[in-house]
Amino acid sequence: MNARFATFGGFFPKPMQITNTILMIRPVNFRMNEQTAVNNYFQEQPEMLQEEVNRKAQQEFDAFVQKLEANGVNVIVVEDTKVPDTPDSIFPNNWVSFHYSGTVCVYPMFAENRRQERREDIFDILENNGFEISNVMDYTSAEAEGVFLEGTGSILKDRVNQKAYCALSERAHEELFIEFCEDFDCFPVIFTANQTVEGVRKPIYHTNVMMAMAETFVVICLDTIDDKKERKMVVEHIKKDGREVIAITEEQMYQFAGNMLQVLGGDDKRFMVMSSAAFKSLRQDQIDAIEKHCPILHSPLDTIETCGGGSARCMMAEVFLPKA
């Protein structure tokens, strides 16, 4: 399985871990996606009509974007389309990533209806916003073999130290993750993270639900890494690179406290972005630990979290592309 569409060359500026530009997709037909619910145990069936679910999701989305923009984050908002049916389009970070080299990565998705979220016109929109795309790495042929790797949901990239962290699951296969690491010259840090579902430990669907990597710290639910050797290995990698480990509990993870993203706002100010549910789940000592590094921004995303099984980080696709 060779997904290489391009090779890399040239010299690029030293990468930063975080960016000022975020791509977000405004939903038009958001609902609980039955195709993802089979292994996303965070999703719940809402007790409201479909139209109400979408309306509330749009309200949460708009308020979230306004909060980011008010703090100097450059948000590129793209409206979703009603056709094809893409109930999870609000989570673009799973199908695409944008890199310093000018490379765009397109990823293989577990749910068939999520594959329809991939839109080439979004690349045109980014170019119209002054960004340069020099090549596309397309890994989607792996879908035919039942092999998946769902973007920055599956891959947590340490851009400064050239490492990539991945919790294996039905949506993150080891062979393709290693191929990604070879293509991007990253050291792979591979482990399994579990959650308890009806008394049974099952793999967490995405790495970015249990772990968030900022410039100088990592928020992580270590309790999900059942294998003690793996847990020790992950912590050693984080600490070796000079980051503080801020541990959260499984209960906090269920409130999406692991699904955070550090962004660059106005005047080079850093913010740790999360949902209000995630923020409310944190203890004061954890809030203090984060705010020692940067302020927290939070916004209510209750409908999106309940029906979509994803939160703030999943909604933001970071744009690291060079300016044209």
Mean pLDDT of the chain: 91
Domain assignment of residue 15, yes or no: no
Rounded to two decimals, the pTM is: 0.91
Q: Return all residues near 252 (Cβ < 8 A) that are at least 6 apart.
A: 221, 258, 278, 281, 282
Domain assignment of residue 83, yes or no: yes
pLDDT digits (tens, 9 = 90+) for 160-181: 999 999 999 999 999 999 999 9
Domain assignment of residue 166, yes or no: yes
Q: 209-233 burial string, b = 16+ CB within 10 Å, else e?
A: bbbbbbbebbbbbbbbbeeeebbee
Domain assignment of residue 122, yes or no: yes
pLDDT digits (tens, 9 = 90+) for 190-207: 999 999 999 999 999 999
Mean pLDDT of 73-99: 93
Please tell me the distance from the alpha carbon of residue 91 to that of residue 106, in angstroms, as a whole number. Answer: 14
Domain assignment of residue 2, yes or no: no
Domain assignment of residue 221, yes or no: yes
| Banded pLDDT at 137 (limits 50, 70, 90) | very high
Domain assignment of residue 213, yes or no: yes
Task: Provide the residue range defining the domain that includes 294.
Answer: 21-318
Taking each continuous run of H as one helix and of E as one strand, the counts in the chain are 10, 17
Domain assignment of residue 289, yes or no: yes
Phi (first) and psi of residue 167, to 5 degrees: -90, 115
Structurally, how many domains does the chain consist of?
Answer: 1
Q: Which CATH number characterizes residue 181's domain?
A: 3.75.10.10
